[in-house]
Amino acid sequence: MLYQITDWDDAYANGAHIPEAEAFLPRWTAAAAAFRAAHRPLPLGRGHLFLPASTPKGLLVFVHGGYWMRFDPSTWSHLAAGAIALGWACAIPAYRLAPRVRIAQMTSDIARAVAKAAFNVAGPVVLTGHSAGGHLAARMVCEGVLPDRLAARITACVPISPLSDLRPLLRTAMNQKLRLDPEEALSESPALLTPRMGIPVTTWVGAAERPEFIRQARLLADAWAGLGVATECVIAPGRHHFDVIDGLTDPASPLMRRLLDHKD
C-alpha cells in the first residue's frame, strides 16, 4: 500500500489514534504488579527473570518498548504469563534510555542482558519485543551482536510492531532526545543489516496500527527474506499498537504458538 506522509510526528504517534489510550498504562502497571506478587522474579540487572515451577523448557526474552525513552521492566511483568504457563522462563531485561544513551548503547545493554539470562537458563532461546523493543529484539539476530554459541540456541525471533528502519525518525521531534544521526540510523536499522542465517523471523503487527508500523514490519520481513532468512509478516486482525502484545499473556494465543512452536 502506497501512502504519502506529510507529518512524520503523527505517523509515529500511537496514543493519539487509539480510543481511551490513557487507560492502558494504569492497566498494565496494575497487571504487572499483580503478576510479580504471584510470581517473584529473580533480578536480571535492573530487569526481571521469571521462572516456571519446574525446570524451564527454555528462555523467552521480551524487550519492552517506549520509543527508547520510556518505561522499564516493572510495567510489563504480566507479559511473562504465557511463557510461564507453558513451562518456559521469561526474561524482561532493562536497558538505559535516551537521552542518557544512544540507541547503539541500548543494543549493547540488551545483548549483555540476553547473555546473562541465557547463562542462567538452559535450552532454546526465543526473542521478542514490542515497538522499540521489537527493534532491539531484531538487532539481537543481526550478525555480530550476540556470541556465536548463544546465537546458535535461538530458535525464533518475533519482533512485534518493530521499528526496523530508523532513518524516518531523523525527521521527527523525538529525535531531539534520541540524537540519531544518519550514520547511526543506518548502523542500527535491522532492515538495512545482515541477519544471522537459520533463525526464523516473524514480524507481528496489528491491522489497526498506524500505516507506518505496518510498513516497517513488512519491510523487515521482506528485506531479510531477500537475504535467505525464513520470514513472515503476520498482521493481527483488529489489533492496535497497545493491545497487539496481549497474546503474550495467553499460552494458547497464536502469538505464543509462533514463539514457542505450539501448533493447533
* pLDDT (tens digit per residue) in 72-129: 999 999 999 999 999 999 999 999 999 999 999 999 999 999 999 999 999 999 999 9
CATH class for the domain made up of 8-260: alpha beta
pLDDT higher than 60, residue 169 = yes
Q: To the nearest whole number, what is the mean pLDDT of the chain?
A: 96
With pLDDT > 70 as the criterion, what percentage of the chain qualifies? 98
* Residues 195-220: tens digit of each pLDDT: 999 999 999 999 999 999 999 999 99
Length of the chain: 264
Instruction: Give the tens place of pLDDT for each residue, 104-117.
Output: 999 999 999 999 99
**CB 64, CB 130: distance < 8 Å:** yes
Q: How far apart are CA 172 and CA 193, in angstroms?
A: 22
Cβ–Cβ < 8 Å for 217, 203: yes
- d(Cα 75, Cα 26) in Å, to the nearest integer? 9
262 pLDDT higher than 70: no
71 φ/ψ angles, rounded to the nearest 5 degrees = 75, 170
Domain boundaries, given as residue ranges, for the chain: 8-260
Per-residue model confidence (pLDDT) at position 2: 54
When pLDDT is cut at 50, 70 and 90, the band that residue 5 belongs to is confident
Distance, in Å, from the CA atom of 167 to the CA atom of 123, rounded to the nearest integer, reads 36
pLDDT category at 264 given cuts 50, 70, 90 is: very low
Q: In this structure, is the dihedral angle defined by the CA atoms of residues 202, 206, 207 and 210, taken in order, positive or negative?
A: negative
Which residues on adjacent β-strands are paired with residue 204? 160, 234
- Label each residue of the chain as H, E or C: CCCCCCCHHHHCCCHHHCCCHHHHHHHHHHHHHHHHHHCCCEEECCEEEECCCCCCCCEEEEECCCCCCCCCHHHCHHHHHHHHHCCCEEEECCCCCCCCCCHHHHHHHHHHHHHHHHHHCCCCEEEEEECHHHHHHHHHCECCCCCHHHHCCEEEEEEECCCCCCHHHHHCCCHHHHCCCHHHHHHCCHHHCCECCCCCEEEEEECCCCHHHHHHHHHHHHHHHCCCCCEEEEEECCCCCCCCCHHHHCCCCHHHHHHHCCCC
**Residue 3 — very low, low, confident or very high, per pLDDT cuts 50/70/90?**
low
Rounded Cα–Cα distance for residues 207 and 10 (Å): 18
Q: How far is CA 95 from CA 110, 112, 254, in A?
A: 6, 10, 28
Q: How confident is the model at residue 261 (pLDDT cuts 50, 70, 90)?
A: confident
Q: Is a pLDDT exceeding 70 seen at residue 42? A: yes
